[in-house]
Amino acid sequence: MTTSGEKPPPASDSRLATGARVEGIVKRFGPVQALGGVTLDFPAGQVTALMGENGAGKSTLLKILTGDHQPTEGRVLLDGRPLTLNSPIDAHKAGIRIIPQEPEIIPHVSVAENVYAGTLPRRAGRRLDRAELARRIRADLARLGFEKVLDPDLLGSQLTPAQRQLVEILRALTGEAKVIAFDEPTSSLSEHEAEALFALIGRLRAEGIAVIYVSHRMKEIFQLADRVAVLRDGGVADVVDAASTDEGEVVRLMVGRDLTSLFVRQDVARDEVVLDVREVTTDDVTNVSLTVRAGEVVALAGLVGAGRSELAQALAGDVPIRSGEVRLNGTPLRLRSPKEAIRAGIGLAPEERKAQALFLHRSIRDNASLVSLERLRRWRLVKVGAERALAQDYSDRLRVRAPGIEHEVRKLSGGNQQKVVLARWLARKPAVLILDEPTRGVDVGAKAEIYHIIADLAKQGVALLVISSELPEVLGLADRVVVMQNGRVTGELGRAEASEEAILNLAMADDLTDVVTARTDHDRASGGTR
C-alpha cells in the first residue's frame, strides 16, 4: 500500500495479496478527462477513506469499480486477479458492492422485498415464500445491529431518508462481499443510526472486507479510517496513514491550498429585528419564540428530530401555524402558502435540495430564476433575455462550475447544486433567508465558498437563520445559537458563551427540569455571566 510521500507502485507490482486495486485508470468522457492514471490499493481488512473535492473523480472511480463505467485505460484487480466489469451485475458477482448516496428503493414493496430484490426465496410454483423471507430479514437485521431502527414490513414509500439508506446497506451485504464502498452514508442518518453503521463497519473490517468510505465529514474519517486516499483534479494527490495525519493536511491535499479561515466572522448585525417569531405552534413544534436581526446569523442547533426543519417549513408557509405569530419588520404575517412567504420576503433553502428545491432535469437558468419570474414577465410571457442575464449574473457571482447556464442541474456536483439554490434566493433578495443544512454533502472547498456567501449576505443586511447538525459549523457561523429539542426551544447562547458542550447540554436535556439544570451548570461554568 502507498503511504505519504511514496509514489504509487507500478502496474507490475504484485505486493497486494488481498483486496481491490485500480491500476493506471484513465477515464475520458469525450474531450473531458475525469481520471488521469489513478493507481490505488484498497486492502482487505482496512478502511480506506476516499477524499477529494466534488469533481475530483471519486464518483467516477467508484462507478468503474462497480461496473457502471468502463475505464478508457487501466484495469481493476481483486485479490491480485484482473477483473472484467462490464456491468454492476459483474461487480456484484465478484463481491464488489456500493451503498450509493441516493438510495434506489422500490416504493410499493416491503423493506424485506427491497433488500432481497432479485434473490427472493420462492416456493414450488414460484410463489414468494414469505415465512422464509421474514426469517432471513430478521436474522440479517439482528446480525447487523439494525433491528431497532428498521421495520422489515414497512413499504418503500413509507421510509424516511435514513431508513432508505439502511435498506441500501442491507442490500449490499447480502451474499459474499469482498469490497464495500460507502458513499456519504451518514448524510441522512441520526446519531444512533450512524453509531450502528460505524459498529458495522468495524465488524466488516474485522471480517477481512476491504471498505472504501467516502465522506466530507472529517470527524468520521478520523474515527473510522486506517488510511486516507486523496484525489485532486482526477489524479492521486497522496495516500496517507490516518493515524499520522490531521484535518489540515487532508484539506491541503484536497484543495491544493491551506484553508485556515473557513469561516468569515464579522460583526455586521444591526439593531432592527427583521424576523420575530412569537410562541409559534404547529403539529411538530410548540411555543417557539426567536428573533433574527438584520445582518445577523442565528443558528438553530439540536439533534435529529428536534423540530428545526419543521419550524423552517412553517416559517416558509409550507405547513400551517396553529397558534402564535410571525412578524417581518414589525408587520404580522399570514403564512398560508410558500407563495405568501416568498412575497413577504422569506426564502427557504431546504435540507433535501434534490427532492425539495431543484428541478433536476431542468437547466441552471430555469432553477435560478424560479422565484423571480414575476418581475421577469411582460404581460404573461417571461422575458427570456432578462431571465438569462439574471441566471448568468448570479451563476458568475457564486462561481457555479458548469459549461453554461443551460446545463442540467442533475449533472452538477452537490456543491454546485447548492450554489444554484442560493443563486435563486440571492436573485430574489429576501429579507430573511433560512438555510437548512446548507453544506450537507458538500466538499470542504465548496463549504468555504458557501460560508463566504453567507457572510456576504449578512453584510448586505439579510437576516439569516441557519440550521446545521455540524457543531463546528454552528460555532463558526453564528452570532447566536438557538437550541431545540422535541419541538421546543431549550435555550439560547451568545457567540461568547456558545461551545459544543453548552449546545449539547441544551440539545440533550430530557425535560424542562433538565434544561434548567443544564442552564444553571453552564452559568456556573461561565462565571454566571448570562
**Residue 247 and residue 385 share a domain:** no
The cell for 464 is 439569516
d(CA 457, CA 394): 13
d(CA 99, CA 117): 15
**Residue 72 and residue 170 share a domain:** yes
pLDDT band, residue 50 (cuts 50/70/90):
very high
Whether 260 maps to a domain, the answer reads no
Whether 154 maps to a domain, the answer reads yes
**Residue 181 and residue 135 share a domain:** no
Q: Of 39-43, 367-371, 389-393, where does the model show the most confidence?
A: 39-43
Name which residue leads in pLDDT, 300 or 145.
300
Lowest-confidence pick of 25-39, 58-72, 154-168: 154-168
Torsion of CA 406, 407, 410, 411, to 10 degrees: 180
Instruction: Write down the pLDDT at residue 71.
Output: 93
Paired with 211 in beta bridges are 47, 180
CATH number, residue 456? 3.40.50.300
Contact 465, 459 (CB under 8 A): no
Which of 255, 283, 309 terminates a domain? The answer is: 255
Which of 212, 227, 255 terminates a domain? The answer is: 255
d(CA 144, CA 490): 35
pLDDT band, residue 450 (cuts 50/70/90):
confident
Instruction: Write down the pLDDT at residue 249.
Output: 86
Whether 12 maps to a domain, the answer reads no
**Residue 171 and residue 94 share a domain:** yes
Q: Which tens digit of pLDDT belongs to each residue from 392-424?
A: 988 888 888 888 899 999 888 778 888 899 889
Number of other residues whose CB lies within 10 A of the CB of residue 444: 21
With a cut of 60, say whether residue 522 has pLDDT above it: no
Residue type at position 524 = R
Average pLDDT of the residues in 282-307: 91
Q: Of 155-164, 396-405, 472-481, where does the model show the most confidence?
A: 472-481
d(CA 171, CA 322): 42
Whether 423 maps to a domain, the answer reads no
Whether 286 maps to a domain, the answer reads yes
**Among candidate residues 435, 396, 438, 433, the one with its CA nearest the CA of residue 418:** 438
Whether 389 maps to a domain, the answer reads yes
Average pLDDT of the residues in 378-402: 84
Q: How many domains does the chain have?
A: 4
**Residue 461 and residue 439 share a domain:** yes
Q: Count of H helices and E strands in the chain? A: 18, 22
**Among candidate residues 153, 183, 155, the one with its CA nearest the CA of residue 169:** 183
Instruction: Write down the pLDDT at residue 177.
Output: 86
Residue 502, SS3?
helix
d(CA 524, CA 530): 9
**Residue 171 and residue 122 share a domain:** no
Residue 463, SS3?
strand
Average pLDDT of the residues in 281-304: 92
**Residue 332 and residue 442 share a domain:** yes
Name which residue leads in pLDDT, 132 or 508.
132
Whether 371 maps to a domain, the answer reads yes
**Residue 287 and residue 208 share a domain:** no
Instruction: Write down the pLDDT at residue 5.
Output: 36
**Residue 199 and residue 331 share a domain:** no
**Residue 388 and residue 512 share a domain:** no
d(CA 296, CA 303): 23
**Residue 317 and residue 205 share a domain:** no
The average confidence (pLDDT) of the chain is 84
With a cut of 90, say whether residue 70 has pLDDT above it: yes
Name which residue leads in pLDDT, 216 or 79.
79
Residue 74, SS3?
strand
Task: Output the CA angle 389-337-349, nearest 5 degrees.
Answer: 50
Order of strands, sheet of 19-29, starting from the edge strand that comes earlier in the sequence:
32-43, 19-29, 73-78, 81-83
**394 DSSP assignment:** H
**Residue 172 and residue 152 share a domain:** no
Enclosing domain of residue 393: 357-418
Whether 92 maps to a domain, the answer reads yes
Lowest-confidence pick of 13-22, 41-50, 460-469, 512-521: 512-521
Instruction: Write down the pLDDT at residue 261.
Output: 61
